[in-house]
Amino acid sequence: MQFLTTHLARCGTRLCLGLDLDPERIPDRYQGRSDPLGKLGADIVEATVDLVAAFKPNAAFYEQQGPAGWNSLTELVARIGQRAFVIVDAKRGDIGNTSARYARAFFDRMGAHALTLAPYMGRDSVEPFLAGRIPPVDQLGPGMGAYVLALTSNPGAADFQLLQVDGRPLYWRVLETLVRWNSGWAAGRLGAVVGATRAEELAAVRQAFPDLPLLIPGVGAQGGDLAAVQAALQLGNGPALINVSRDVLYGRDLVAEPEAVRERAREYARRLDLL
Please list the active-site residues.
91
17: left (phi over 0), alpha (psi -120 to 50) or beta: beta
- C-alpha pair distances (Å), 94 with each of 97, 98, 107, 228: 8, 6, 16, 34
Sign of CA dihedral 118, 121, 126, 131: negative
Amino acid at 44: I
**Using CA atoms, how far apart are residues 11 and 259, in angstroms rounded to an integer?**
21
DSSP state of 269: H
Residue 119 backbone phi and psi in degrees, to 5: -95, 0
**Using CA atoms, how far apart are residues 46 and 192, in angstroms rounded to an integer?**
28
Q: What is the 3-state secondary structure (H, E, C) of 114-172?
A: EEEECCCCCHHHHHHHCCCCCCCCCCCCCCCEEEEEEECCCHHHHHCCCCEECCEEHHH
Q: What is the CA radius of gyration of the chain?
A: 18
Amino acid at 7: H
Buried-exposed string 91-104: b where 16+ CB fall within 10 A, e elsewhere? bbbbebeebeebbe
**Using CA atoms, how far apart are residues 96 and 132, in angstroms rounded to an integer?**
14
